[in-house]
Structure 1
Amino acid sequence: MAESAPSYLATVAAAYDGVAEVYAERFADVLDRQPLERALLSAFADVVRDLAGPVADLGCGPGYATAYLHRLGLDVFGVDLSPEMVALARSSHPGLRFEVGTLTALDLPDRAVSGALCRYSLIHTPPADIPAVLAEVHRVLAPGGHLLLGFLATDESAAGVHAYDHRVTGAYRWPPDHLAGLVRQAGLVEVARLVRAPTDEERGRQAQLLARCL
C-alpha cells in the first residue's frame, strides 16, 4: 500500500489555490527585475542542454520560470502542488506541459530529466522532510544532470533554520551552508551559489544553489 502524503502538502496546496490569481499577477514579470537570477537560469540552461533530456520545473507555480527556460531553448515541463496554479500555467502557456504533483513523490521514472529547477519550491517543506525531497529530486535526475535550487537565506549571523511568517503559508529560511550540506548528502556536488541582499520588495536574503548529480 502506498504511503500517505505528508500532511503539510494539503495545507500548502490549499493556501496557494486561494491566492493563485493574485500571485500569478504579482510575479508575472518578476524575472525582469532579477538580472542575477536570469544569469543563473541562463547558465543552468547551458549546462543541462548537452544531456538532451527534458527539464522539470518543480514547484512551477503559474509557469513564468518554465516559460523562461522554454525561451532559452529547453524541453521543459512544470509540476506544482496547487491545481489552481497549474490551471493558470496551462492557460498562460498553452504550448507547455504542466501537471499537478508533489516533490515528495514525483510521477517520473528514475534518471528521467537532465535538469530540475526548484525555484523557492522547498521553502514550505518542514526541515525534517527536506532530505527526502532532495533524495526524490536526485532519483529523477540523470547522471550529470543539474539542480538549480532557490531559497530564502538566513542572515549571516543567524544559526540554524528559521521559521518565518510567509505571506501565503509558513515557511523557512536556511543557512546556505546547511542546505548545501543536505544537497551534498543527497548525492549532488555543488557547482556554484549566489547569495544576495534583498530588494525593496523582498523580505530577506535570497539564495541560489547550482549542483550536479553524480
Structure 2
Amino acid sequence: MTAWYGEDLAYIHDVGFRDYALKSAPGILDILKHREIQSGLIVELGCGSGLSTEILHQSGYQVLGIDISAAMVAIAQTRVPTAEFRVDSLFTAEIPPCCAVISIGECLSYAFDANSDAVLEALFQRIYQTLLPGGVFIFDVVVPGHAAPGEVARHFTEGQDWIVLVEKQEDPIQQLLTRRIIALRQVGDLYRRTDEVHFLRLFNMENLAKTLRQNGFQVDITDRYGAFSLPPARMVAIAYKPI
C-alpha cells in the first residue's frame, strides 16, 4: 500500500492542523444526540490521528477508525489505546453493522485510491446496508473554489519544529484539486524534507445528494458542523437511514 501522509506529514497534521477535527466534533455529537443515537458503534472513515475518535470515545461510543495512512493510525492508536483501528482504504474496507459512519476532513474527496462514481456509489450502498435503522452517515468533501481558474494558489504554515508549503491548483474539466505539499520537520539541528502530491475530487453537491437519495438516504446539505463553519469550498452531507 502506498504511504500517504507519511511519518513527518502525519506528525505535522496532528500537531498543527487539529482544529478542523476538534471544532467539528461537538456539532457531530449534536447530530447524533438529535437522532437519539446515545451509544453504539461508530465507524470513522479517514480517522487520521484519532482526534475526533478520542472525543467520540470519551462520549460513550465504541469507535472503529480506518485510515490509509499507517503513520496516522499509529498516532491514533497511541492516543486512544482502547479503540480499534485499521490501516485500509476507506473505499473498500469492511464496515460492520453500526449506528453511524462519519468521515471528517474531506476524506471522501481524496483520490489516493480508486474513487470513481461506481466505487463511491458502491461505498454508499455498503454504508446504507450496514447502518442500523435510524443510523446516520456524516461526511464533508471539497467543492470548487480553492484556486482561481488557471492559477496556482500558494501558502505556507509553520509551527515550532515544522514548516509546510502548499501549492493548490484546480482542473475544472477533470473536477480535480491538486495539492503539492512540501513538509520540513526539525530533526536535531537540521530539517528533514518530505514531498507529497495529493489529488482530491471536487464534488457537485446537488449530484452527490441525488446519488445518496437514490441509495435510500434522506439527505441534508450544509456548510457547518453545528457552530463550526467549515473553511471555504467545503460542504457537509448528513445522510439518514430511515427507521
TM-score tier by shorter-chain length is 0.7 to 0.9
Q: What percentage of residue pairs aligned between the two structures are identical?
A: 23
Q: What is the distance in 2 between the residues matched to 1:165 and 1:117?
A: 24
Give the Å deviation of 1:160.
8.1
Unaligned runs of 5+ in 1: 1-9
Write the distance in 2 (CA, Å) between the matches of 1:68 and 1:136: 26
Specify which of 109, 131, 155 is matched with residue 121 of structure 2.
131
On the 8 A contact 1:59/1:81 being kept in 2, the answer is yes
TM-score, normalization by structure 1: 0.76
Q: Distance in 2 between matches of 1:38 and 1:96?
A: 17
Moved runs in structure 1, 4+ residues, more than 4 A? Answer: 158-161
The yes-or-no answer on 1:80 pairing with 2:67 is yes
For 2:173 and 2:134, locate their aligned partners in 1 and report how far apart those are by CA, in whole Å: 30
Q: Structure 1 residue 26 and structure 2 residue 30: aligned?
A: no
| Mapped partners of 2:240, 2:80: distance in 1 | 29
**Cα drift, residue 147 of structure 1:** 0.4
Q: Is the 8 A contact 2:70 2:87 kept in 1?
A: yes
- 1:17 paired to 2:30: no
Aligned to 1:193: 221
TM-score, length of structure 2 as denominator length = 0.68
1:5 equivalent in structure 2: none
Using the alignment, how far apart are the partners of 1:123 and 1:24 within structure 2?
Answer: 19
| Corresponding position of 1:163 | 176
Q: Is the 1:58–1:117 contact (alpha carbons within 8 Å) kept by the matching residues of 2?
A: yes
The alignment partner of 2:13 has SS state of: helix
The residue that corresponds to 1:6 in the other structure is none
Aligned-residue offset at 1:145: 0.6
Contact residue 66 and residue 85 of structure 2 kept, 8 A: yes
| Largest Rg, 1 or 2 | 2
Over aligned residue pairs, what C-alpha RMSD do you find?
Answer: 2.8
Residue-pair matches, total: 191
Q: Which residue of structure 1 aligns with residue 100 of structure 2?
A: 115
- 1:84 and 1:31 map into 2 onto residues whose CA distance is 17
- The correspondence of residues 25-64 of structure 1 with structure 2, limited to 5 A, is 25-32=15-22, 34=23, 37-47=24-34, 49-50=36-37, 52-64=39-51
Q: Partner residue of 1:142?
A: 132
Check whether the contact 1:62–1:85 (CA below 8 A) recurs between aligned residues.
yes
Larger deviation, residues 122-131 vs 112-121: 122-131
1:145 and 1:173 map into 2 onto residues whose CA distance is 26
Greater strand content: 2
Structure 2 match to 1:153:
143
The structure that is helix-richer by fraction is: 1
> Deviations along 1:127-175, whole A, 9 cap, x unmatched?
43321222222232112110001111225xx988720113451111212
What secondary structure sits across from 2:209 in the alignment? helix
Counterpart Cα distance in 2 of 1:108 and 1:206: 25
Whole-angstrom CA distance in 1 between matches of 2:6 and 2:127: 24
Kept in 2, the 8 Å contact 1:106–1:136? The answer is no
Deviations 1:174-207 (A, max 9, x none): 12112111211222111x32126xx9x95x4121
Alignment of 1:169-188 (within 5 A): 169-188=198-217
SS at structure 2 position matched to 1:169: strand
Tell me if 1:99 matches 2:86: yes
- C-alpha distance in 1 between matches for 2:12 and 2:222: 28
